[in-house]
Amino acid sequence: MNSMTGFGRSTRIADGLQCTIEIKSVNSRFLDLNIRSPKQVNSVEHSIRKCIQKSLHRGKVDVFVTLQDIDDREKQFLINSSLKHQIQDLLVLEGFYKSAQDVPLAAVMSISNEWIQIKDDEIQEDSLCSLITETTMEALNALVHMRTSEGVQIQQDLLERLSHMTAIIDDINAHKEDAVLAYKENLRKKMLEYVDNLDIAINEDRLLQEVAIMADKTDITEEIVRFRSHVVQLTNTLKKDEPIGRKLDFIIQEMNREVNTIGSKAMDISLTDHVVQLKCELEKVREQVQNIE
């Protein structure tokens, strides 16, 4: 089980070129991959995407690629002869020199040096692709390690909260019968008082039957059984070594539905307090689940 939050960084050097790649990720519903890199990396950007998509399934992922020369590399000199001749002719035309041959190089450079361009030899695409890929894999491994470590911590926290919720639901189950009996007795007394105020006769058996029917609607046995089932599902899912975030989110929704039903049926104040505790724990679990891949 992995978190969706992490950071990884790597630097490698090849052919006098230093490549640094940083990858950071946060939670997101889908895999949202963004790459920021120099133009010379455009041709091999697909390699970065391919590496990341093999390892990550969800999360907003930002990749930053930096290239820097660190050694003396072969240079290329590009001479714009046309511009150089134009500058020479200009100096002759203005009367500074008698002919273009008399114009010294320093005079031409004083006007403009744009007629000379110096650039590094381009690194071969295969070498660049290899450098980018290896650097990406190292940064990605660091990111995955961080996401896995955080995932272990989240898993432990969730298991502890599930244990706490199990204890709460067990306590609710232990007191549900008393709550139903108390509700029946309270309902019977109120109905009798209402009938007495109306000064009419009532069949005792029919009264008890109606009380039983209404009290039966407050029974929460089914909801407790389903909640326990969801706890087992959630626990088993947490132990799987695969992307489980979406499944966990669905299970949490089902658990929350059962708790709401219990809360609407429970008439006893002690059960209501337990329902509030369950809702608080479920909200904390839901927040944690949002960070799981």
Q: Which residue has the higher pLDDT, 191 or 50?
A: 50
Mean pLDDT for the stretch of residues 124-133:
83
Q: For residue range 137-181, what is the model confidence (pLDDT) as tens digits?
A: 999 999 999 999 999 999 999 999 999 999 999 988 887 776 666
SS3 38: coil
Q: Provide the Cα torsion 181, 183, 185, 189; round to 10°.
A: -170
Q: Any bridge partners for residue 66, and if so which?
A: 20
Percent with pLDDT over 70 in the chain: 81
Nearest one of 13, 290, 20, 26 to 143, comparing CA atoms: 26
Whole-number Å distance between alpha carbons of 120 and 76: 6
262 — pLDDT class (breaks 50, 70, 90): confident
Q: For residue range 14-26, what is the model confidence (pLDDT) as tens digits?
A: 877 889 999 999 9
Mean of the per-residue pLDDT values of the chain? 84
Residue 5 has pLDDT above 80, yes or no: yes
SS3 118: strand
At 158 the pLDDT is: 94
CB 4 within 8 A of CB 27: yes
Which residue is it, tokens 């104040």?
269
At 253 the pLDDT is: 93
What type of residue is 22?
E
At 193 the pLDDT is: 65
At 271 the pLDDT is: 78
Mean pLDDT for the stretch of residues 221-239:
91
CB 28 within 8 A of CB 151: no
Residue 209 has pLDDT above 70, yes or no: no
Whole-number Å distance between alpha carbons of 161 and 158: 5
Angle between the 221-238 and 125-198 helix axes, to the nearest 10 degrees? Answer: 170
110 — pLDDT class (breaks 50, 70, 90): confident
Residue 184 has pLDDT above 80, yes or no: no
Q: Which residue has the higher pLDDT, 172 or 269?
A: 172
Query: Which of 2-6, 127-131, 210-214, 268-272 is predicted least confidently?
Result: 210-214
Whole-number Å distance between alpha carbons of 25 and 147: 9
CB 169 within 8 A of CB 227: yes
DSSP 170-222: HHHHHHHHHHHHHHHHHHHHHHHHHHHHHT----HHHHHHHHHHHHHTT--HH
Specify the pTM. Answer: 0.69
Cβ within 8 Å of residue 4, ≥6 positions away: 25, 26, 27, 28, 58, 59, 147, 245, 291, 292, 293
User: Chain centroid to CA 239: how far?
Assistant: 19
Residue 33 has pLDDT above 60, yes or no: yes
207 — pLDDT class (breaks 50, 70, 90): low
Triad 265, 271, 273: Cα angle to 5°:
115
Mean pLDDT for the stretch of residues 8-18:
88
Residue 82 has pLDDT above 70, yes or no: yes
Q: What is the largest CA-CA distance in the chain?
A: 134
Burial class (CB in 10 A: 0-12, 13-18, 19+), 34: exposed
List the structure tokens of 108: 């031409």
Q: In the 8-state DSSP scheme, what is residue 99? A: S
Whole-number Å distance between alpha carbons of 225 and 228: 5
Percent with pLDDT over 90 in the chain: 42
Whole-number Å distance between alpha carbons of 197 and 17: 96
Residue 189 has pLDDT above 70, yes or no: no
CB 92 within 8 A of CB 52: no
